[in-house]
Amino acid sequence: MTGTAALPTRTDVAVVGAGPTGLALAVTLAEAGVDFVLLDRQAEGANTSRAAVVHARTLEVLDELDPSGALSGELVGRGVRVTRFRIRDGARPLAAVDFDGLPTAHPYALMVPQYETEAVLLERLRALGGDVHRPYEVTSVTQDADGVTLTTATGETLRAAHAVGADGMHSVVREAAGIAFEGSAYAESFVLADVVMDWAPGPHEVTLAFGTAGPTVVAPLPGGHYRIVAAVAEAPAEPDLAFVRTLMDERVPGQAAVRELVWSSRFRIHHRVADRYRAGRLLLAGDAAHVHSPAGGQGMNTGIQDGYALGRALATGDLDGYEARRRPVARRVVALTHRMTRAATTRNPVLRAARNALLPLLARVPTLRDRLAAELAELTYR
């Protein structure tokens, strides 16, 4: 199953998309002894690295895949453990949510670039004898009573008992299945930048800063870097150092001195959930099934957990149970992140004043604070 080998003609499960979701699914199938082929249209390492946090529930899933703890341990060793999520209005602190009291072996948020998460999952997959076939772009998927036929852009065909779309928001598999993707786009565009900067709150917390211009998330990364994600009315295609400096001076005045821009990009986001996760022999997971605001860093985590749940369902034959378990989780994540985004972006001065007065009070109630910590860590989705 190496990337350079010829594509097989038959398999039990064809997985389209080798991001974190597809890799987690492939590892789960490999552990269960289910034959699969994992395809991706990009060369190895060609992905953009948007996600930067691995939550406690995802680390628990890695422990379930490898009870020795080596899998989660390898990833933890590449990241930065953060135990506090702080909400601000500009530079002014409003509320803090702590993870260090969570009932889990991983009471923290792990800040680590997505490419590291993918690398650790790929290493595990190769240790189990699997790999990714790339670059193979799947252009058509058709199913019949006996199976699914996938055709690539270069004319190869693959026959499978089931096919899984882990191929993102513009999923070929979802379109072939005729599954609606209900929701809408946010009006704002988002800037993503990895920077070197002097940051007053320090590297021990993740910050969500509210502001009338849009929410801004600042999170520490390994190597002394910080990840900035900010909603803006219209971001430049490639935000430069001057743009990012101005952005931070406006959003969190006096808190940030950006010294170096390591990497930046622009993207737009939607909030959508697939009407179904299954149509006959075709199944969906990750961004093919749900997309939402980056507030809270839930996207990749929900996808990895989808991949694990779907792998177990394929191994046991409980495919209807997969949708019953995972689609309500996606609806809840989309609702939570949408509420956080709307609360962060309100321009109504009365609503802003009420929000800023209420949040510090709510944060002092231990049960509410603990519930939000568990929700962000996705422990409520066990």
- φ/ψ of 54, rounded to 5, equals -115, 120
Helical ranges in 203-251 per DSSP H? 241-251
Nearest-CA neighbor of 42 among 7, 18, 15, 9? 18
Strands (E), the chain: 10-16, 36-39, 53-54, 80-82, 84-89, 92-98, 109-111, 138-143, 148-152, 157-165, 181-199, 205-210, 216-220, 226-232, 256-274, 278-279, 282-284, 290-291
Q: What is the DSSP letter of 43?
A: P
Angle value at C-alpha 120, between 29 and 333, nearest 5 degrees: 70
> pLDDT value at position 1?
42
> pLDDT value at position 45?
64
For 312, the token pair is: 């177990």
Burial call 302-327: b when 16+ CB within 10 Å, e when fewer: bbbbbbbbbbbbbeeeebeebbebbb
* CB proximity list for 358: less than 8 A, separation 6 or greater: none
For 368, the token pair is: 């509410």
Rounded to whole angstroms, how far apart are CA atoms 311 and 315?
6
Nearest-CA neighbor of 372 among 108, 110, 97? 97
Tally the C-alpha atoms within 13 A of residue 210's C-alpha that lie toward its C-beta: 25
> pLDDT value at position 313?
98
Report the interhelical angle of 299-316 vs 56-65 (nearest 10°). Answer: 30
Task: Kindly report the number of other CB atoms within 10 A of residue 103's CB atom.
Answer: 10
> pLDDT value at position 27?
98
Rounded to whole angstroms, how far apart are CA atoms 299 and 217?
15
For 171, the token pair is: 């999923």
Q: What is the pTM of this model?
A: 0.93
Rounded to whole angstroms, how far apart are CA atoms 140 and 8?
17
Q: If 0-12 CB within 10 Å is exposed, 13-18 middle and 19+ buried, where does residue 77 land?
A: exposed
> pLDDT value at position 2?
43
Rounded to whole angstroms, how far apart are CA atoms 296 and 291?
13
> pLDDT value at position 43?
84
> pLDDT value at position 276?
97
**Do 108 and 81 contact (CB within 8 A), yes or no?**
yes
Q: Return the SS3 of 29.
A: helix
Q: Token match 């998460």: residue?
A: 117
> pLDDT value at position 46?
61
Report the interhelical angle of 20-32 vs 114-127 (nearest 10°). Answer: 20
Question: pLDDT tens string for the chain (382 positions)?
Answer: 444 568 999 999 999 999 999 999 999 999 999 999 999 999 876 666 688 999 999 999 999 999 999 999 999 999 999 999 999 999 899 999 999 999 999 999 999 999 999 999 999 999 999 999 999 999 999 999 999 999 999 999 999 999 999 999 999 999 999 999 999 888 778 899 999 999 999 999 999 998 888 889 999 999 999 999 998 988 898 999 999 999 999 999 999 999 999 999 998 888 899 999 999 999 999 999 999 888 778 899 999 999 999 999 999 999 999 999 999 999 999 888 888 877 877 878 898 889 999 999 988 999 999 999 999 999 998 8
End-to-end CA distance of the chain: 32
Task: Kindly report the number of other CB atoms within 10 A of residue 334's CB atom.
Answer: 22
Tally the C-alpha atoms within 13 A of residue 130's C-alpha that lie toward its C-beta: 28
